[in-house]
Chains A and B, each alone.
Chain A
Amino acid sequence: MRILAEHIRYTAGTKFGTSREVFRDLSLLVESGECLGVIGREGSGKTTLLNLLGGLVPPSGGSLFLDGVNMGAAPDRAGGIRRRMGFTFQFPEEQFLSPTVDEEFRSLFRVRGIPEGERDGRRDAALRAAGLVEPGTGARSPFTLSLGESRRLALAFVSALRPAAAFLDEPTSGLDASGAACARSIVEGLLAGGCTVVIATHDLEFLSGVARSVLILTEGGIAARGEAAAILADRSLLAAHGYPRPPESLIR
């Protein structure tokens, strides 16, 4: 999916009378099949940017085009676009609704119209990919999972949906080393299927393995954007935005 944001303005907190401008005039193109990493200090707007690009929150101004569809102006076509997207949130349990892991998959597949015959296979492959292989996982309540396991489950959902665009918010936070490897192969699988992937993270090591381009957010907008290898090796640029050193893989 091709993502084009034009002159996005976003003001947060208007409901509470404490409004704060997060983005003034942000324009951004993410090509179909691209993997874009978003980094920046806490509060720089990474989560907000993902929510805007994914159409979860409407911008206060400007336009978002997903595969050429103006999401604000064509509500009849926006629904179809939304059904081709996948999300993982910073707090993964916020996206769980069902009493068991299996039911969570079932309702997800139903909503997305995944053919009956494919469902079990997709679920099993996704749980394996996420390293959730302990027998009985399907019957567990997702709310009894540890934070790391919850994050793996959220990644499994996205993997099973095979979306055209995936928005992953801190996908490796709280994951152990094997979980981070699972996250990486899930992202690689998504990219191999032509999915556009946008990742907000502080995990530069992870980004250096999967991202083609990296964007640094700062208060109010984009501080830098470029090839992942160039941005992630730029010591002074990284240091200015809260990252004392480049990822190890780029140092060696």
Chain B
Amino acid sequence: MIDVRSLRVRYPGADRDALAGVSIEIPDAALVAVMGGNGSGKSTLARSLNGLLLPSAGSVTVDGLTTTDGSALAQLRKRVGMVFQNPHLQVTSLTVEREIAFGLQNLGIEHGALRRTVNEELAASGLAPVRSRAPRTLSGGEQQRLALAAVLAMRPAHLVLDEATSLLSPGSRAALLAHVHEERRMRGMTVILITQFAGEALAADRLVILRAGAIVDDGEPGAVLARCTLPEIALPPEAAARR
């Protein structure tokens, strides 16, 4: 379970909090969507969940491990997989398949299982035809697919997707999210899906709306979007027609 309590994050030199007292409990295997305007604190929340950012006040606890406990951080980060908006931040290897294998090697996975997992993720991500290419020569969308494949290969207990499919075509986005949903169904993985797409949010169990670093709504996605009047939130077509 992920337990965020009264989380406040202020960046050095900033004159306001990026997150101003956010509390949210996310049970295991939940699929929670997060929407919010540009600069509302979505990525700050995402990065707080695996301890990349530490609280200025409040706490983040994952499966009993707290991000401010230095001795627990490595263990916590194994449990929380994170895919960034910009794949350049996390893609480092010389070839696509080595990138997927990299995290598994660090986890000490034995060779046969590693091969199997790499092949599975290459197939699921549609990257098998470019397995030997250098990640830097892939398109932005292909790099996003690679970043997700490499994180999923490590079989995290919880997965945070920070607009991780923003450069993909609608078809690829749907295919990748179907893969994520399947992993979730099979392994009970928790998914926190930060998105600007109402259609993706509607597929979640729960939708949280962030504005100026605070949660302004939290509930069943259809109901949340139906009552949403914020101009920065994209609505599904039927609701948009009413706006």
Contacts and interface: CB of A to CB of B under 8 A. Distances in A.
B103 interface: no
B105 interface: no
A91 B86 contact: yes
A242 B133 contact: no
A100 to B, nearest CB: 12
Interface string A45-87: 0110000000000000000000000000000000000000000
Contacts of A173: 166-167
Contacts of B134: 13, 16, 18
A220 interface: no
B196 A176 contact: yes
A180 interface: yes
A174 B86 CA distance: 10
A211 to B, nearest CB: 16
B85 A176 contact: no
Nearest to B86: A91
A152 interface: yes
Interface stretch (A24-32, A143-151, A186-194): A143-151
B234 to A, nearest CB: 4
A148 B166 CA distance: 11
Contacts of B39: 134, 145-146, 148-149
Given A18-B134, A136-B15, A149 B38 contact: yes
A252 B240 CA distance: 13
Interface in B131-164: 132-134, 137-142, 144-145, 163
Contacts, number: 118
Contact of A43 (B85, B139, B163, B170): B139
A90 B233 contact: no
Given A42-B139, A91-B88, A176-B233, A242 B170 contact: yes
Binding site of A, secondary structure by majority: helix, strand, loop or mixed?
loop
A248 interface: yes
Nearest to B169: A242
A7 to B, nearest CB: 23
B232 interface: yes
B232 A42 contact: no
B137 A12 contact: yes
A46 B174 CA distance: 20
Given A152-B38, A174-B85, A175-B38, A91 B169 contact: no
Interface residues of A, number: 45
Interface size bucket, B side?
35 or more
Contacts of B108: none
Given A178-B37, A178-B232, A47 B171 contact: no
User: For A40, A43, A174, A242, which residue has the most chain B Cβ atoms within 10 angstroms?
Assistant: A43
User: For A91, A174, A176, which residue has the most chain B Cβ atoms within 10 angstroms?
Assistant: A176
A146 B196 CA distance: 14
A179 interface: yes
A176 B169 contact: no
A34 interface: no
A229 B177 CA distance: 29
Given A42-B142, A170-B166, 19 more contacts: A16-B137, A18-B132, A18-B133, A18-B137, A20-B137, A42-B169, A43-B130, A43-B138, A43-B142, A91-B88, A145-B39, A147-B85, A149-B39, A152-B38, A175-B38, A176-B36, A202-B141, A244-B171, A245-B170
25 contacts: A16-B134, A20-B133, A39-B169, A42-B168, A43-B138, A43-B139, A91-B140, A145-B39, A146-B39, A147-B86, A174-B38, A174-B85, A175-B196, A176-B38, A176-B233, A176-B234, A177-B232, A178-B231, A179-B38, A202-B167, A241-B169, A243-B170, A244-B174, A245-B170, A252-B237
Interface of B: 11, 14-15, 36-39, 42-43, 85-86, 88, 130, 132-134, 137-142, 144-145, 163, 166-172, 174, 196, 231-235, 237, 240-241
